[in-house]
Structure 1
């Protein structure tokens, strides 16, 4: 079920040398999201494609780091990664969803890698 409420961040912080992104919301939810998780789940067309059939499985990002987090208007943040990826706009809603479903989404990602014979790298 999709949460249709608007969630507003009260804190955005890049931590652990760029390996973790902490976001805290006005509803009290706070999530520490790894740079690897955010990179492989980037909302960019490069990762998500233009349809579900185009979606890419991103590998080799275990050691990726966030080098910048630039606010975009009042609705998103643009994360720049040390591998050069910087095209995804992470909306507050998407970040809240990634945080709230992190265990399930990460497990599905790992299962997808295994099914395809890929490794995190």
Structure 2
């Protein structure tokens, strides 16, 4: 086995956090890793890139473009085992478990992912400020929990 194999867990974690800080006033999650990497991740970005099946689907072609989340806030962080955190958002979304590996990737790929998200919004006629009103059994009644 290589040293890298020993440095990972079942979730593929290679870089472990040394500090995780929710800065509510700024609306960001700041996370530092043991290799010196540091990411400042806006709540909106984390919400629209949530690892939940609701956002990611069950395959890459099912990924949802989630509009209307510019003002979303993270209200709480809950540790999940030793491999990540659950983020609780003020729009009721709380099903995504963000692994340390995924948070590291979100920091590393921020510019590319954010540009792709903005392009998808524009291509679909959506925006960051308002979500289209949807009706249907998957949305429930009110609460803004869709997407």
Please tell me the TM-score bracket, short chain as reference: over 0.9
Matches of 1:107 and 1:81 in 2, distance apart? 22
| 1:57-115: CA deviation from partner (whole Å, max 9, x where unpaired) | 10110000000011111101000000010000000010000001101110010011111
Q: How does 1:1-121 map to 2 (within 5 A)?
A: 6-17=14-25, 19-121=27-129
Cα offset for 1:16?
Answer: 3.6
> RMSD of the TM alignment (CA)?
1.3
Q: Which runs of 4+ in 1 moved over 3 A?
A: none
**Alignment gaps of 5+ in structure 1:** none
Counterpart for residue 9 of structure 2: none
Q: TM-score, normalised by structure 1?
A: 0.93
Matches of 2:31 and 2:18 in 1, distance apart? 8
Q: Write 1 or 2 for the structure with the bigger share of strand.
A: 1
**Alignment gaps of 5+ in structure 2:** 1-11, 130-147
Matches of 2:44 and 2:25 in 1, distance apart? 13
SS at 1:23's partner residue?
A: strand
How many residue pairs align between the two structures? 118
Q: TM-score, normalised by structure 2?
A: 0.77
